[in-house]
A = this chain, B = another copy of it.
Amino acid sequence: MHTLTELKKYSAELVDLHHTLALMQWDQEVRMPRRAAEGRAGQFATLSALVHRREVAEELGALLAQAEAQQESLSVEDRALVRVMRRSYNQNTRLPEEFVAEFSRLTSQAQMAWLEAREQSDFAIFQPLLERLVVLSRQQAEYLGYAAHPYDALLDLYEEGLTTVQVESMFAELQAPLVAMVKKFAGRLAPLAFAEPFALAGQEQFAEHLLVAMGFDFSRGCLARSAHPFTTTLGHHDRRITNRYAPKSLDFIFGALHEGGHALYEQGIAEDLAHSHLDDGVSLGIHESQSRFWENVVGRSRPFWQRFYPELQQAFPAQFAHTELGDFVRGINAVTPGLIRVDADELTYNLHVLVRFEIEKALIEGSLEVAELPLVWREKYRQYLGVEVESDADGVLQDIHWAHGSFGYFPTYTIGNLASAQIWEAYKRYDADFSQTLADGNLVKVKEWLRKEIHGHGSVYLPQELLVRVTGAPLSARHFLAYLEEKFSTLVG
C-alpha cells in the first residue's frame, strides 16, 4: 500500500481510539454514577494501554520514516500530518514505559494529596509529592530533549516550538505596563452584585441562546452540565461543551462564551482533515485565543451587550430591570486585584500567570526549592498584584496543574490572551464596521472569518506560523496592551 494511505489509516485508528477515551472522560464528568469511578479508571487504563501499544509500535515508526523520505513530494496537509504524527510518536517513544507508569502513579497520588492539602490549607501535605514531581518533570525534559533550557521541552508539550526565552520576552513586554494599568484602573469600575438568585433553568436557556447566536452547531455538538466547564471532541462531527450554573454568578454567560469559543474552533476544522491527527486545534495557546476572543474581546464589549442586554434583562428582570447597559458593561469589566487566577479580570489575569511561570522555570532549572514555594508565592503576589496571601489554599495550592504533573501549561493562557487581541486587530481590518456587526448580533460573520482564517486549518500550520498568516506578525504583547488601554480608558471615561 502507498505509505501515505497506510499512515492515514493508522492515524484514523488512533484518532478513533482517542475519541473513545475522550468519551469516557466526558461521561465521567457529566453522567457517571458516583460509585462507578474506580471501575471507570480501570477501563480507562485498559484502553489507554492498548492505545499506547499502537502508538509506540515499530510499525508506526517505520511508516513515519518512509513518509519523511518522501517529504518533498507531499502536499502541505500531508507534510503536516507527518509532522504531527512524528511529534506525537517521539513524545510517546522517548519516555520509557516504566517512567510513564511511575509518573502516572505519582500524579494520581499527588492529586489526592493536593485535594487534602487545599482542604486543610496545608502545603506540607502536598510538598513531598510536588518535590518528586519536579524531579520527574526534569527527567521528562531530559528524555524529551531540548536545545537551550530544560523548561523548553515542557513548554513544547503544550505549544509546539515555544521556548523559555520567548516566554520571558513576552512577560518582559507585559509586566511593567500591566502593573501600571492595574494601578490606574483598579477600583474605578463598580462590580455587580445580586440579591436575587438566577433560576438555573433560565441560565442554561440563556447560555444556549448565546451559543446559537455564535453559530455553535447543535447538530454537531451539545451542551451539558459539569462541575468544571470544558470542551471536548468525540469525533469530527461531535464537539461538546459543558457549563456550570451557580445561583448568584454571571459565570454561566462567560463560561458559555469561553467554551463556545473553543468549540467553534473545533467545529470549524475543515472536513478534509476529519479523522486524522490534523483534525484538532493546533496548540493550547491558539485554542485559548479563541475562547478568550469570545469570552472577553467580544463578550465583555459594549456593542455585544447592546444587542444582548435587553434579552438578559427580560430573562432576569429581578436582577437587571434597574441596571442600565453602561453600568452592566462597567460591572462585568471591574478591575480588582485578587488572589485567585480563575476569578481574575482581564487586566490582572496575566500577572497571575507570570507568578506561575517564574516559579515553574526556577523549579525546573533547580534555582528554587519546592519548600520555598509558599513564601515565594506570597512575595510575588505582593510585588505584582499588591495583595496579601492569607492561606495556602488561596495561594500556592489553588491550581490543580502541578498535581497533574503539568509544568509548562500556564504560559499558554497568556499566549491565548495576547493572541486574542492580535486576532481582533486583524478582524477589525477586515470589518471596519465591527462595532455595528456586534451590535447587530451578527456573530456568525465573526465566526465565519475566524473559520476561514484559523479554524479551518486544524493543525496544518505551526501555531506561530498560523498567527503570522492571520495577523501579518508574530505574537506580540503590543496589541493586547493597546486593546486594554483603549478599552479601560473608555470604560472609566
**With known contacts A27-B23, A40-B235, A275-B42, A220–B35 Cβ distance under 8 A:** yes
Chain B contacts of A43 at CB under 8 A? 16-17, 19-20, 235
**With known contacts A20-B43, A24-B23, A36–B220 Cβ distance under 8 A:** yes
Contact B220 A33 (CB under 8 A): yes
Q: Is A47 engaged at the interface, CB distance under 8 Å to the other chain?
A: yes
Give how many copies assemble into the complex.
Answer: 2
Q: How far is the CA of A12 from the CA of B47 in the complex (A)?
A: 12
**With known contacts A20-B43, A24-B20, A33–B218 Cβ distance under 8 A:** yes
Contact A238 B32 (CB under 8 A): yes
Q: How far is the CB of A334 from chain B (nearest CB, A)?
A: 37
Q: How far is the CA of A35 from the CA of B35 in the complex (A)?
A: 32
Q: Is A8 engaged at the interface, CB distance under 8 Å to the other chain?
A: no
Contact B33 A238 (CB under 8 A): yes
Contact B275 A40 (CB under 8 A): no
Q: Is A46 engaged at the interface, CB distance under 8 Å to the other chain?
A: yes
Chain B contacts of A35 at CB under 8 A? 219-220, 237-238
Q: Is A251 engaged at the interface, CB distance under 8 Å to the other chain?
A: no
Q: Is A222 engaged at the interface, CB distance under 8 Å to the other chain?
A: yes
Q: Is A50 engaged at the interface, CB distance under 8 Å to the other chain?
A: yes
Q: How far is the CA of A222 from the CA of B13 in the complex (A)?
A: 31
Chain B contacts of A221 at CB under 8 A? 33
Q: How far is the CA of A274 from the CA of B35 in the complex (A)?
A: 13
Interface string of A383-402 (1 = CB under 8 A from B): 00000000000000000000
Contact B24 A219 (CB under 8 A): no
Contact B32 A20 (CB under 8 A): no
Chain B contacts of A155 at CB under 8 A? none
Chain B contacts of A240 at CB under 8 A? 33
Contact B219 A34 (CB under 8 A): yes
Contact A238 B46 (CB under 8 A): no
Chain B contacts of A219 at CB under 8 A? 33-35
Interface string of A38-73 (1 = CB under 8 A from B): 111011001100100000000000000000000000
Q: How far is the CA of A298 from the CA of B117 in the complex (A)?
A: 51
Chain B contacts of A32 at CB under 8 A? 234, 238
Chain B contacts of A132 at CB under 8 A? none
Contact B13 A46 (CB under 8 A): yes
Seed contacts A33-B220, A36-B235; 4 additional CB < 8 Å A-B pairs: A13-B46, A20-B47, A38-B237, A40-B234
